Amino acid sequence: MLMSLIKLSVNYNFNKQMKKLIRYLVILSSVLILLSCDKPAPTELVDDSTVEYEVLSKDVNDEYYSNGGDTTGVTQDLKDFPNLISLSGVKETDINGTVHEYSFGQTIVFDRTKPVYDSNRRLLAYQTVTPGVIRIENIRAIEVPFHIRYRDNGVLIDTTLGSKYILFSRLHPLFQYRHNARLNFRLTFLNNDFVNFDIKTPKEITGNVEILGKRADGNLRAKLNWNKENSRDVEIIISGRLISDRKTVMPLYRIKTNDNGKLIIPAKLINQIPSDRFDRLVFTFIRRLEETHNNGNNDLRVSSQSIHSITVNLP
């Protein structure tokens, strides 16, 4: 058998092929790199919970706080000085864990034509009036002077704006604030005209405070828990008791947050409270129902709140 064999030039020129590949790679890589300056799109998350921090004590040397305050340790925002009807069911847990409960109601009616200024013509408030008889749950409120204290050119000055109406369970044992209910309010004017309506009260709030961390470690913080009522906000006032007189409780921070039952007050806030000026902290949980009726200069704010104040030692 004589075969016709074919000489085949099988030139396995791998180098040539590799060069071709490398060329493709370089081109592709360059294009990709040029096009790849971008990065995957970020996702913006929306926080469905809110926490608002505010410093209340603008001047820690001043025991008067223009934001308003009262002996319950509860600040009442009198900004813009609306006429106010306020009902409070208050619990106080003292340093020993003993709980004291009382009810408090007050009504303040301002006369917008009679402003009160300090010597620097800074508006302090308006004088108040008592237009008639106020009954809450058919219990007559008494009229008491409405004092304020302010610092004028470095001098503490007490002044009286007029009178306001109060109902205090310790003075009027029949007056008991009921939670998650409707309390009747009636104002009978001097001409026997009257205004009568119910004020809705919130569910009772009961809080708990746990101080975590150490001041020395810079991680002193407060873990707060309360019975949550998801639909509304709560307000938490953090106050400090002055070492100087062991009586005055000075509101330091106001925190507004969702009524979700828990909050950790950051160390940056707690750790910074000077322990040489304050020996105790008062955490006041406020669940408030509030309505504002706009009426020009006679705005009316109707506020009803459940309050629980807890006193703890400041490490």
Partner 1 sequence: MKILSISFLIFMISNVNILPQSSFGLNGYSGNHSSFSSPLYNFESNVSDYSQIKDWGFSAIYGMEFANSTNSNLYGISISKTINNHNISVRYTPGYQKEFSFKTGETIILQDSTSQSLTSGFIYKELFGFGYSYKFSDDFSAGFSFRYFNQEFNREAVTVIFNDNPYLVSESTGEKINFWKGDLGINYFLNERLNFALASINLLNFGQKAENSEFEQYELKKDMGGMFGLSYHPVDETALNFVYETTNAFQLGVNGYLKNFSLGFTLFHDKYQSPSIAGIIPSIGFKSDLFEVMLSGIKYFSNRKVEHGVSGFVENGLSNIINNPYSYDKILLTVSFNLNTITEKFVEFVDVKINKDIYPTFKDNYIDYPFAYGTVVNLTDDFINVKPLSRIEGINEENIQSPGSSIAPHDTAEVPFYLIIPEKYHSDKTALSYADFYLVTTNEQPDDEFQKAILVNSSNSWDGRVSNLHYFIRKDLDFSMMNAKEILSKNKPTLDTLTYGLEDFYKANILFNSFIKNLVYTSDPRATGEYVQFPRETLELKGGDCDDLSVFYSSLLESVGIQTALVNYKTDGTIRHVSVLFNTKLSPEFARLITNNDSKYFVRENLDGKDEIWLPVETTSLTDFETAWKIGSEKFNKDAVNNLGIATGKVEIIDIY
Beta carbons within 10 angstroms of residue 237's beta carbon: 23
C-alpha neighbours within 13 Å on the C-beta side of residue 239: 27
Of residues 141 and 238, the one with the C-beta less far from partner 1: 238
**Dist CA 166 CA 205 (whole Å):** 22
Give residue for tokens 């370089």.
26
The sign one gets for the Cα dihedral 152, 72, 302, 194 is negative
Give the closest residue to 256 by CA, choosing from 275, 240, 284, 233: 233
Which residues does 115 contact at the CB level (< 8 Å), separation at least 6?
A: 123, 125, 126, 127
Q: How far is the CB of 274 from partner 1 (least distance, A)?
A: 6
Phi-psi region of 296 (alpha: psi -120 to 50; beta: other; left: phi over 0): left
To partner 1, the closest distance from the beta carbon of 79 in angstroms equals: 10
In angstroms, what is the minimal distance from the CB of 189 to partner 1? Answer: 37
Of the two residues 179 and 268, which places its CB atom closer to partner 1 in the complex?
268
Least spacing, CB of residue 229 vs partner 1, in Å: 17
Q: Considering beta carbons, is residue 50 or 98 the nearer one to partner 1?
A: 50
The nearer residue to partner 1, 57 or 305, going by C-beta atoms, is: 57
Q: In what side-by-side order are the strands of the sheet with 262-265? A: 207-212, 221-226, 262-265
| Least Å from the CB of residue 219 to partner 1 | 8
CB of 240 to partner 1, least distance (A): 10
Going 107 to 124 to 144 to 72, the CA torsion angle's sign is positive
Q: Which of 8/155 has CB closer to partner 1? A: 8
CB of 250 to partner 1, least distance (A): 11
Nearest residue (CB) to partner 1, 129 versus 242: 242
Q: Which C-beta is closer to partner 1: that of 58 or that of 121?
A: 58
Cα(306)–Cα(88) distance, integer angstroms: 6
DSSP helix/strand/coil, 302: strand
Residues that bind partner 1 (CB under 8 A): 1-3, 5-10, 12, 14, 17-18, 20-21, 24-25, 28-29, 32-33, 35-55, 57-61, 252-253, 266, 268-269, 272-274
